[in-house]
Copies of this chain bind each other. A is one copy, B any other.
Amino acid sequence: MAPKRVDRQARRDEILSAAVLLFAERGYAATRIEDVAAAAGIAKGSVYLYYESREALLTAVFERWAERSRAVVEAALSGERPAMQRLEELLRSVIALLAGEPGLTRVMLDLWAAGRRSEGGAPPPFDMAAVYREYRTVVAALLREAAEEGAVRAGAGEPEAAVVVGAIEGCLVQWVVDPEFPFAEIADQMVEVCTRGVLRGAAGGAA
């Protein structure tokens, strides 16, 4: 009549954090449920009280990241500043988010990979492609707005947005592949190259 009380969500988070740590360290493929359990300080079977399966853990990582990502995007977009300013802010926010969560970020590789899956049967448990689609849409919208405001070259659209998004993700890749890579430290250059390019005599106002 006095059932044991447990903060389910808290426990879920603990487990997930342990999983993120391990996934980041050695990758999803090399991480056993038992490792996660041990890292979370519980028994193997207990993981299943909170997550349906090993894959559900990866999905949860995706969700944690997607949530963070969404929050950052929304925060960056609100406000009345000029579009270009909001874009720059968005880029800096995303970079800061990624730089601030190295664990979550290094799992990205596995999230990208899990988005695939064919043959086997089961469809991917989450839609990574949609995330990038949305990023591009948002950035493209800002670019168009900025073009209207005269700040950006007319005609800039999704392709340009893809490159901007890509620049960040691509730096991320370099960081994931090489922890020495100074991802956080080159935020300025990411923004600058995206806005002004590398050529000399680039237009004034930006960055």
- Asked if A181 and B199 sit within 8 Å, CB to CB, the answer is no
Chain B residue contacts of A143, Cβ below 8 A: 198
- Asked if B201 and A203 sit within 8 Å, CB to CB, the answer is yes
Q: Does A154 contact B (CB under 8 A)?
A: yes
Count identical subunits in the complex: 4
Q: Does A165 contact B (CB under 8 A)?
A: yes
- Asked if A25 and B118 sit within 8 Å, CB to CB, the answer is yes
Assembled-state Cα–Cα distance A134/B195 (Å): 25
Assembled-state Cα–Cα distance A194/B156 (Å): 14
- A50, chain B: closest CB distance, angstroms: 16
Interface string of A175-207 (1 = CB under 8 A from B): 011101110011011101111111111111111
**A12-20, A63-71, A96-104, A108-116: which one contacts chain B?**
A108-116
Assembled-state Cα–Cα distance A150/B164 (Å): 25
The secondary-structure label for the interface of chain A is: helix
Residue from the set A117, A172, A196 with the largest chain B CB neighbour count within 10 Å: A196
Chain B residue contacts of A197, Cβ below 8 A: 192-197, 202-203, 206
Q: Does A173 contact B (CB under 8 A)?
A: yes
- Asked if B166 and A168 sit within 8 Å, CB to CB, the answer is yes
Assembled-state Cα–Cα distance A30/B55 (Å): 14
Q: Does A169 contact B (CB under 8 A)?
A: yes
Chain B residue contacts of A125, Cβ below 8 A: none
Assembled-state Cα–Cα distance A204/B80 (Å): 31
Chain B residue contacts of A152, Cβ below 8 A: 198-200
- Asked if A186 and B167 sit within 8 Å, CB to CB, the answer is no
Interface string of A25-58 (1 = CB under 8 A from B): 1110110000000000000000000000000000
A-B contact pairs, 21 of them (CB 8 A): A27-B113, A27-B116, A29-B29, A30-B117, A112-B173, A143-B198, A153-B198, A153-B200, A159-B186, A162-B171, A164-B193, A164-B198, A166-B167, A166-B169, A167-B167, A167-B170, A169-B170, A193-B193, A195-B197, A197-B202, A199-B202
